[in-house]
A and B are shown apart, each in its own frame.
Chain A
């Protein structure tokens, strides 16, 4: 910095003359009075009043503009957004509560329905079993009755047949005896004989 400022002082006059020649440069041409060249520009007190005045004017207007216009607006935007977010969160929480309640109600109904279904199933099962049992018993009884009947008929048929077999045998035996012996055997004898053979 010491080197550069020394350099600046050396070169300042030439810069000034060049400006005098070109009649003021466009970008940051110096029209600084000759006596100001000795001082480092930021420490030149001649520029202080004007800089302070314009700083006060520009910064004051800037402050008023920000305070009156910009900051209420930006603050408003942010407040509205925060309100909206908290409102949405509240609503989401409310909806979640409702959904939870619905799920709980559904679960309860489901459990009840399951219980009912179980009992209904059990009842139906029991009823069906009982019905099947009675039907089976009825059929068994009917079958038993038929069986007994059939057995009785078979027995009577058999008895009749046996009775007839006895008389046929007696007739046949008496006929055979007649034919062979030529006499008549007593009926009682023949019956006894047949009986003993038939046994």
Chain B
């Protein structure tokens, strides 16, 4: 049990709560799924309940919902213009989902949905899939102009196109790894420092005195992780907006 407490990887384990298996695939309802549901319920309930009074002069909580709405709306309008607003529900859902998942993960004993690469990759693939599908639907083969920047000398063109294609293909990877790695590293660091506190304080008075420093670090890291939770949700949403802008206006 003591080893369990200081194992920094333990928090990322997936446990089956309701085992489900269909067609040879393990589709169990796990703690990860539970926290996805919790994320969705918390975010949806917050947005729904705080705006239920529809006050002309908003209270604090209604202001928070409106600020989130306008924040994402302005972000999308700045990056992708007015045409981009058709993706507003999508970007807003992404932002709220990632933000609430990150914030819920900060609670002790809670599972962090975004610390699993498959989840962040799923979201990133959804973004890039939307970009590709919408890009080809709207512009047809003209969408491929995305890979051919204007004003490049002809002899450089093959090289530039290659670079552009690589940069496009690496987008879902960078988008998902950025969020996943930030959450993973942050939670491991938090757990390591907290583990020091537990292990040291078991050593008696000297150990308790010595555990003050890692405890302070854990407190400071929690504040940092709170910032990272917001920042990564913001970065994810901003990059989504920029990629959607490419789908809307493929010519550079």
Contact = CB atoms under 8 A, between A and B. Distances in A.
Interface stretch (B116-124, B140-148, B165-173): B116-124
A78 B92 contact: no
Interface stretch (B47-55, B76-84, B234-242): B47-55
B210 to A, nearest CB: 20
Interface in A35-66: 40-44, 46-56, 58-59, 61-63, 65-66
Count chain B CB atoms within 10 A of each CB in A29, A52, A77 and give the residue with the most: A77
Interface residues of A, number: 55
Given A32-B15, A42-B180, A55-B36, A47 B118 contact: yes
B69 interface: yes
A41 to B, nearest CB: 4
A69 to B, nearest CB: 7
B65 interface: yes
Q: Is the interface of B mostly helix, strand, loop or mixed?
A: helix
A152 to B, nearest CB: 102
A146 B117 CA distance: 132
Nearest to A67: B89
Interface in B121-166: 122-123, 126
Contacts of A47: 14, 26, 30, 32, 116, 118
A36 to B, nearest CB: 8
B119 A51 contact: yes
B3 A15 contact: yes
A62 B40 contact: yes
A71 interface: yes
Contacts of A5: 9
A49 B26 contact: yes
B60 to A, nearest CB: 15
Given A52-B118, A71-B88, A74-B69, A66 B93 contact: yes
Contacts of A182: none
B2 to A, nearest CB: 9
A51 B70 contact: no
Nearest to A56: B122
A4 B11 CA distance: 13
Contacts of B13: 28, 30, 32, 41
Contacts of B116: 41-42, 47, 51
A62 B93 contact: yes
A44 B97 contact: no
A51 B33 contact: yes
A75 interface: yes
Contacts of A80: 54, 56
A84 B55 CA distance: 12
A198 interface: no
B28 interface: yes
B85 to A, nearest CB: 10
Interface stretch (B184-192, B201-209, B218-226, B244-252): B184-192
Contacts of B40: 58-59, 61-62
A88 to B, nearest CB: 11
A61 B36 CA distance: 11
A7 B204 CA distance: 24
A15 B7 contact: yes
Interface of B: 1, 3-4, 6-16, 20, 25-33, 36-37, 39-40, 43-44, 47-48, 51, 54-56, 58, 62, 65-66, 69-70, 88-90, 92-93, 96-97, 109, 111, 115-119, 122-123, 126, 180, 184-185, 188, 192
13 contacts: A15-B4, A15-B10, A19-B4, A22-B1, A28-B11, A28-B13, A32-B14, A42-B116, A47-B26, A62-B93, A65-B44, A67-B89, A77-B66
Given A40-B9, A41-B14, A71-B69, 16 more contacts: A7-B7, A8-B7, A15-B7, A28-B15, A32-B15, A46-B26, A50-B29, A51-B14, A58-B39, A59-B36, A62-B44, A66-B96, A70-B44, A70-B47, A77-B66, A80-B54
Interface of A: 1, 4-5, 7-8, 11-12, 14-15, 18-19, 22, 25, 27-32, 40-44, 46-56, 58-59, 61-63, 65-67, 69-71, 73-78, 80-81, 84
